[in-house]
Amino acid sequence: MSNKKLKFKRSLPIGQTLETNDLYLPYKKNKKPASKRRPVIIAGKQISPKGIEEYSVIPGSTQDTPNTTEYKKYGIEYYRHNLEVRDNEGNPISQNEKFRISNQSSKLPNKEVDKIRNHILNHTKFSSENRAKVSEFNNRYSLTEETKKFLSEEKVRLKKVSSQNINKMLQYWVNQPKSKYKNALCKIYKNELNSRNKKSRG
């Protein structure tokens, strides 16, 4: 990992909508879409080994076209029956110039997001494809050799970090979505704090 410092950006909740453009979503090479505003709903999130929050999203729509469902709430007229976990260039979806909050963004309640997710994952023609994308998203950062190396370097880095700051980082990660990476990182922080507490008592 070239960047060993975690990037603590503003964390966005499940259900937050972001503004994007059809050009920034995956499309078939022979069917390039027109440049058009597109809201997307954050349906899942995780933290990358570099500390960047990444999302799975459900695109909204302003038109009643095939493979969409009428919604008419929270600024979303319709939602598409597909889920996306990467942008048009194959990169993870995160907060950047392609996916951003605007004055048209809104926040759906978790129960509403759960209903929409259940629909597109289990009751549409794209459900199988959507479930495959969710699986890829959830397993994107299993503990590869690169990740193990990063975690090993993090252990060394903590020796120069105050206990107060380690506590802050631990609390940050405790509140993040479940993942193998999160569990490993929290374990490192807890072990370092426990080791320091034993030394102070001894």
59-77: string of b/e by CB count within 10 Å (b at 16+)? Answer: bbbeeeeeebeebeebebe
In this prediction, residue 9 carries a pLDDT of 60
pLDDT surpasses 80 at 34: no
- Neighbouring CB atoms inside 10 A of 133's CB total 19
Burial of residue 1, with CB atoms counted within 10 A of its CB: 0-12 exposed, 13-18 middle, 19 or more buried: middle
Cα–Cα distance, 98 to 42 (Å, whole number): 14
Q: What confidence score (pLDDT) does residue 8 get?
A: 44
pLDDT of 126 above 60:
yes
**Verdict on whether the full-model pTM lies above 0.75:** no
pLDDT at 136 over 50: yes
User: Domain spans of the chain?
Assistant: 17-138, 145-201
The rounded radius of gyration (Å) of the Cα atoms in the chain is 20
Distance CA 94, CA 99 (A): 7
Per residue in 37-62, pLDDT (tens digit) is: 899 999 999 988 788 899 999 999 99
Query: Does pLDDT of 176 surpass 80?
Result: no
